[in-house]
Amino acid sequence: MKYNNPVIKGFYPDPSICKADGAYYLVCSSFQYFPGVPIFESKDLINWTQIGHCLTRKSQIQLDTVNSSGGVFAPTIRYNNGRFYMTTTNDTTRQNFYVWTDDIYGEWSEPVFVDQGGIDPDLYFEDGKAFFMSNGTDDYGVGGIVQCEIDIETGRKLTPSRSVWQGTGGRYLESPHLYKINGRYYLLAAEGGTEYGHMVTYARGDSPSGPFKAYPQNPVLTNRNLGGYELQGVGHSDLIQDDEGNWWLFHLGFRQIGRWLTFHHLGREVFLTPVTFGEDGWFTAGHNGTTLTSFETDRIPDTVIQQEKKVYTFENTDWNLDWCYLRHPATENYRLEQDKATLLGTELTLDVPASPTFIGIRQMDFRAAISCDVSLTNGEAGISLYMDEHHHYDLAVRKDESGYKVIERLNIGDIKSIENEVELGADNHAALIIKASHERYSFFVHADGKEILLGTAQTKYLSSEVAGGFTGVVIGLYVYGENSLAEFSNFKCKYE
């Protein structure tokens, strides 16, 4: 069969995967968004359904003072003796921790902290022992991939943290994962930084703690030299064996907006690449060590059809799964129903690193038509194409002393400009429309039986190359202002 990449679209970076009871489970980073660490399930590795989040309570993760692209960094999910474990980092508080559950569809535990620094933690289980790894500096001041043995019940270190591998010389050695395959231990990592130089590297040894010898042909997977190619930033991977014995890499990557336009705003996404082990025990990945937009493979039966959801509405999404908040929300300000959302505003705007009244869904493809009816009592309410508090485009209904109007506002760094407005008079309702393409967003209001164009803006100013950070554009519904109340209905996001 032929499958297309990415297999999970939109801002779902740093994938990690495990297998349990005939299904596969995958988690991703969530940074400043809540709930934290989305969980996906699949039976075939191609089609994924979100089933929950690992961090659903304020007691599990501190996000109140987290800057954009802070908070919850790369997670790892593992299954051992009937229990699921997810370990991650709160990069803002510099704490590594894990949570666990015996029911993948239920709630997860309170955090168990591990006194080891660095980011991108990993758990490896063998013979009743639990090994904890991260990137950073060990107890002796040596940098690299750092490992210790822990008491899995308490998180207490049973051995000193020791650097077990220093990588191949690329910058930002990170994303360690350890596996035992055919009697050898394989240590997977990422180097080069999660941008255009990103790459997957690995080494192997005869014990969980090494010494590890690097694969002679590292990097095993990278798109760093593919100029003019849509898929870039390939790295941060996790290895999985399917039920037929085939091996795969799940990894992040991103799609740039054009062949020669080196900007990406959808965030880092989830890609799937086949892996092949040689007789010498080393493995190769992808097409000559690169990832493609599609793979033809006989590893997956032709009966498996890759499904893709093209239309997202209030009615066919789940508020608790598909949608997210900025940091910890004041839940009393949200009334979320099957066909509408009623939001109560506060003095917090989208321009501050806090939790304004905002609920969003990730933008999952370049070409889209986004629409929503908005009714407002006071203040401002509308749709935001949100990258962070300094980079977002807003199409909103606003009330001032002259009545109601629709505004198009662009926020790019220190430049915040209302580009256009359409007067509504006493009418406090508007049908807002945003049309997205690879390179531009166009902003409309539907009035008098026609679409009125307010203006356009380039997508690249919401990209990671401009804004920085590690997230992607989230389509947010928001309201702010004293005594402001807004009702959102007829939401639709339709992808071409």
Catalytic residues: 14, 174
H-helix or E-strand spanning residue 434: strand 429-436
Q: How far apart are CA 438 and CA 314, in angstroms?
A: 25
Query: In this structure, are residues 388 and 471 in contact, taking their beta carbons and an 8 Å threshold?
Result: yes
Can you say whether the dihedral through the CA atoms of 274, 277, 283, 284 is positive or negative? negative
Which residues, listed in sequence order, are joined to residue 188 by a DSSP beta bridge?
A: 177, 202
All residues at 6 or more sequence positions from 100 whose CB lies less than 8 Å from its CB, including other chains: 83, 84, 85, 86, 108, 109, 112
CA–CA distance, 240 with 34 (Å, rounded to integer): 28
Count of alpha carbons within 13 angstroms of residue 20, beta-carbon side: 20
Q: Are the C-beta atoms of residues 495 and 310 closer than 8 Å to each other? A: yes
Q: Fill in the DSSP letter of residue 381.
A: E
**CA dist., res. 328 & res. 324, Å (int):** 10
Q: Can you spell out the DSSP letters for 83-136? A: EEEEEEEETTTTEEEEEEES-TTSPPPPPEEES--SEEEEEEEETTEEEEEEEE
Beta-carbon neighbour count of residue 335 at 10 Å? 13
* Sign of the alpha-carbon dihedral angle for 225, 227, 233, 236: negative
The pair of structure tokens assigned to 227 is 């100029």
**What is the phi-psi region of residue 164: left when phi exceeds 0, alpha when psi lies from -120 to 50, beta otherwise?**
alpha
Taking alpha carbons only, the member of 57, 209, 58 closest to residue 133 is 209
| Contacts with 413 (C-beta within 8 Å, 6 or more apart), sequence order | 390, 391
The region that residue 254 occupies, defined by phi over 0 for left and psi between -120 and 50 for alpha, beta otherwise, is beta
